[in-house]
Amino acid sequence: SQQGEEDPQALSIQEGENATMNCSYKTSINNLQWYRQNSGRGLVHLILIRSNEREKHSGRLRVTLDTSKKSSSLLITASRAADTASYFCATMGAQKLVFGQGTRLTINP
């Protein structure tokens, strides 16, 4: 069964706007990772945040983690058309990643 649940399932914004996606999970974790998937094929790792971290940045990406609420958010600032993709959170518990259902992000030019 899926542990992570992303919200919203789909998001459509204008180029230049910020996009925020949320992820909730159920059990304790070692870390939480965000991945991106283009065209339903291979996933690309974006960023990892450890359970003892609260916020992390990588370029235009900002990830937060609230272990008390078992939730994480991914913020993409100054979105570009090339950011159009599906974004998945994945939690690392006992030696394997468990993925959520994903958020389909569309950036309109």
Partner 1 sequence: GAGVSQSPSNKVTEKGKDVELRCDPISGHTALYWYRQRLGQGLEFLIYFQGNSAPDKSGLPSDRFSAERTGESVSTLTIQRTQQEDSAVYLCASSLALASSYNEQFFGPGTRLTVL
Give the binding site for partner 1 (CB under 8 A). 2, 4, 30-31, 33, 35, 40-45, 48, 50-51, 88, 90, 92, 95-102
Contact indicator for 6, 105 with CB cutoff of 8 Å: no
The CB-of-76 to partner 1 minimum distance in angstroms stands at 19
The CB-of-16 to partner 1 minimum distance in angstroms stands at 28
Decide whether 79 or 86 has the Cβ nearer to partner 1.
86
Contact indicator for 101, 87 with CB cutoff of 8 Å: no
Contact indicator for 104, 9 with CB cutoff of 8 Å: yes
Decide whether 15 or 106 has the Cβ nearer to partner 1.
106
Contact indicator for 65, 47 with CB cutoff of 8 Å: no
Contact indicator for 36, 44 with CB cutoff of 8 Å: yes
Decide whether 15 or 26 has the Cβ nearer to partner 1.
26
The CB-of-103 to partner 1 minimum distance in angstroms stands at 10
